[in-house]
A and B are shown apart, each in its own frame.
Chain A
């Protein structure tokens, strides 16, 4: 029989080791999975663990996948720290993609004379406003009517998805697109400026890193950041200190929605170049895992987004090379989070072997 004893202080060593142990468990589960499917586990795992780092192009693709994950996960971390369970980053991402894509479409169709650097702040702003507006529905219903934010934010993901689908099948469909559900290709000026000529990585990646630094400053170096992290989980204590739980809910949701919206706008203006029903790839949901694996810490989110991006890229490689379903990366994501949560018990508890009671 194993019993858990509460540690007097959390173990620093294990709080560092726990993600590594969880990662090792995930890799082991992955190896077993491939073995069960009759694929060579070493070959299959190398697609997940080594190839995404192999060469400059692969590394920039990794950065490209990380960008939306970092942006969404930063906001989610702030929400979860404030005890706001926003799980609808996917919906906020999609609405950001719609508003960002809408601006790009307008610039393209109206032939507005702009260059990439002039368009960059415009599309960022459009995405942020779209995502924040979508999240504000959640904030309003929670604040005014006490409606559970988990369920509302998730329901709004389905609504946002259908809205995007309506736009690209209906009013925004490319008239010359052979009836495919997609908008016309955006003008060259609406693409995000590239970091390195010839590679797809864009300045949005650096914007995401900058957002992580700003989020760190906000969380740990400002009075407002402190208020949020107390106002959410301990409303009574916060009230005593004069902090408001309502303020925490609104701020966390608006910031989170805004960041997710920017991620959506970047995705449309960056790698996609047009709006299709498949903008997202599930980034908003993967970002939940990024936030937890990153310990709800901005720098942790940046590191964790790298890990989750390798899973996403590995999944795509496994699909194109050995015909495994790309959904295998979803299995990895789930196993990683579940084993991390289990391992985290060890940070606060000590295992003790004991005889029956």
Chain B
């Protein structure tokens, strides 16, 4: 029983980075910009966060540094795809490749370094409850903040005027432009905010979750987060649910490996990636369903006055 509680706790922790990045990418895509550079952004912020945590010992500063680094880089990405109208697929890929190289380059000095001992964050009283205590109430604060982030994003998108403008820009940028909205400016803002969230996610991985820096340590989570937005049909709550689902798959395979199940460890490690493919196939099978839910201008350039 206790084992199950720990598994649930670990699942929440493993799903959190996917949820943060997935939510950021969702905001991005709701404005009509597809950022295939998520993996690169997360790697850059992972190394930035680790470096700050290593030198200051403050994990909140580290998360902020990750967000800042990714925001700056994604602003560059945004400028390329929104103002210069470069191909979003190619530019995002370039960003992912650049992020991989750049983070490995910057991070060579940090490989094998250890962060100062982490402090635990149990919630008083609640964490002492049997079963639910270890399962739910001994998490890092970021885990709870992520749930709040999901709620805030849903509220923003569906209950505020700004959210409506953002969604309209993703659906019909020309109409939004005709109504006097600054399509490019708002898209850039969405890209920067989405990038910053990817950055928090990357820094969480290297500072809280693992905590260490290894080249390529994001290990495809940026891509899985991109898949999550499709899986969630661009709905915030479903992103969170999907992220915990993937966190659960990751944790289950680690758990089974630790118990010495007689399957080679490599096959177990394949599970999160195979699960992504299976989920994508299941959700995409209905092309109509995807088409209805996908922001209509996703991936398409917008040129003002070019109707």
**A: which residues have CB within 8 A of B?**
4, 85, 87, 141, 145-148, 150-152, 154-156, 158-159, 162-163, 165-166, 169-170, 285, 288-289, 292, 325, 327-335, 337-338, 341-342, 344-345
Contact = CB atoms under 8 A, between A and B. Distances in A.
Given A141-B277, A155-B276, A162-B267, A150 B105 contact: no
A146 B282 CA distance: 10
B105 A147 contact: no
A345 B86 CA distance: 7
Contact of B104 (A85, A159, A327, A338): A327
B98 A334 contact: yes
Contact of B280 (A152, A162, A292, A331): A152
Nearest to A289: B97
B105 A170 contact: no
Interface residues of B, number: 45
A159 B99 CA distance: 22
Contact of B277 (A152, A288, A341): A152
B290 interface: yes
A334 B102 CA distance: 8
B127 to A, nearest CB: 35
30 contacts: A141-B281, A145-B281, A146-B285, A147-B281, A148-B230, A151-B226, A151-B230, A152-B277, A154-B223, A155-B220, A155-B223, A155-B227, A155-B273, A155-B276, A155-B277, A156-B277, A159-B270, A163-B270, A170-B266, A288-B97, A289-B97, A328-B101, A330-B97, A331-B98, A334-B100, A338-B80, A341-B80, A341-B86, A342-B80, A345-B86
B219 interface: yes
Contact of A163 (B95, B266, B285): B266
B126 interface: no
B51 to A, nearest CB: 15
Given A158-B273, A165-B266, A166-B266, A327 B215 contact: yes
A350 B108 CA distance: 41
A-B residue pairs, 7 tightest by C-beta = A330-B101, A334-B98, A327-B104, A166-B266, A337-B94, A325-B108, A162-B266
Nearest to A87: B93
B97 A170 contact: no
B284 interface: yes
Interface string B28-41: 00000000100010
Given A162-B266, A288-B93, A151 B227 contact: yes
Interface in B150-169: none
A162 B270 contact: yes
A154 B84 contact: no
Main secondary structure of the interface of B (DSSP, over half): helix
A147 B80 CA distance: 28
Nearest to A152: B277
Given A155-B277, A330-B97, A292 B90 contact: yes
A155 B219 CA distance: 10
Contact of B290 (A146, A288, A332): A146
Given A155-B277, A341-B94, A330 B104 contact: yes
A338 B98 contact: yes
Given A159-B274, A170-B264, A325-B104, A148 B97 contact: no
A332 B102 CA distance: 9
A118 to B, nearest CB: 34
Contacts of B98: 330-331, 333-335, 337-338
B303 to A, nearest CB: 8
Contacts of A327: 101, 104-105, 108, 215
Contacts of A156: 273, 277
A159 B273 contact: yes
A170 B266 CA distance: 10
Interface in B163-220: 215, 219-220
A269 B93 CA distance: 30
A166 B273 CA distance: 16
B135 to A, nearest CB: 29
B97 A285 contact: yes
A163 B273 CA distance: 12
Contacts of B287: 146
Interface string B118-153: 000000000000000000000000000000000000
Nearest to A3: B83
Contacts of A345: 84-86
Given A333-B97, A345-B86, A147 B280 contact: yes
B89 interface: yes
Contacts of B40: 334
B158 to A, nearest CB: 25
Given A162-B270, A334-B102, 11 more contacts: A145-B284, A148-B227, A148-B284, A154-B220, A285-B100, A328-B101, A328-B105, A330-B104, A331-B102, A335-B98, A337-B94
Interface in B241-283: 264, 266-267, 269-270, 273-274, 276-277, 280-281
A68 to B, nearest CB: 16
Nearest to A340: B94
B91 interface: yes
A112 to B, nearest CB: 29
B87 interface: yes
Contacts of B108: 325, 327
A292 B266 CA distance: 33
Interface string B92-117: 01110111111011001000000000
